[in-house]
């Protein structure tokens, strides 16, 4: 159990367009989901924390108007990269936490975004 999926797995888009990435918890209800960004050969950087039904909490330095997060249900969170630019190219990873084990995060497989 505790499977998290992401869609799409990779996306290529033109500069200036917006891209939506979905994160789903497939077999559990996720009260909290996290969005990370991973640069090549580097660690994960937490971008924001989202709780179902409330606004996301963004980490310092992350533009909330650029990275829109919606956590509309207990199994789905979306990250929309608005007006994407080449510097937004990265690996975006989500994780989910279930209420009965708040310490453990279960990670999605990641989404590779390339902005041309």
Partner 1 sequence: GDSVTQMEGPVTLSEEAFLTINCTYTATGYPSLFWYVQYPGEGLQLLLKATKADDKGSNKGFEATYRKETTSFHLEKGSVQVSDSAVYFCALNQYNDYKLSFGAGTTVTVRA
Tokens of 99: 């209420």
Residue 113, interface with partner 1 (CB under 8 A)? no
Q: Tell me which of 42, 73, 83, 99 binds partner 1, using CB under 8 A.
A: 42
Residue 116, interface with partner 1 (CB under 8 A)? no
x/- binding map, residues 58-97, to partner 1, per CB under 8 A?
Answer: -----------------------------------x-x-x
Nearer to partner 1, 14 or 100 (CB): 100
- Can you tell me whether residue 63 is helix, strand or coil? coil
Residue 50, interface with partner 1 (CB under 8 A)? no
Residue 108, interface with partner 1 (CB under 8 A)? yes
Q: Are 106 and 25 in contact (CB under 8 A)?
A: yes
């Amino acid at each position: 159990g505790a499977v998290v999926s992401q869609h799409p797995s990779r996306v290529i888009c033109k500069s200036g367009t917006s891209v939506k990435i979905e994160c789903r918890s497939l077999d559990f209800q996720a009260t909290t989901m996290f969005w990370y960004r991973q640069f090549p050969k580097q660690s994960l950087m937490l971008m924001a924390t989202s709780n179902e039904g409330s606004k996301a909490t963004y980490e310092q330095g992350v533009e909330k108007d650029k990275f829109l997060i919606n956590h509309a249900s207990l199994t789905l969170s979306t990250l929309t990269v608005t007006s994407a630019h080449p510097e937004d190219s990265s690996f975006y990873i989500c994780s989910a936490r279930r209420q009965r084990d708040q310490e453990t995060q279960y990670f999605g497989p990641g989404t590779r975004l390339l902005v041309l």
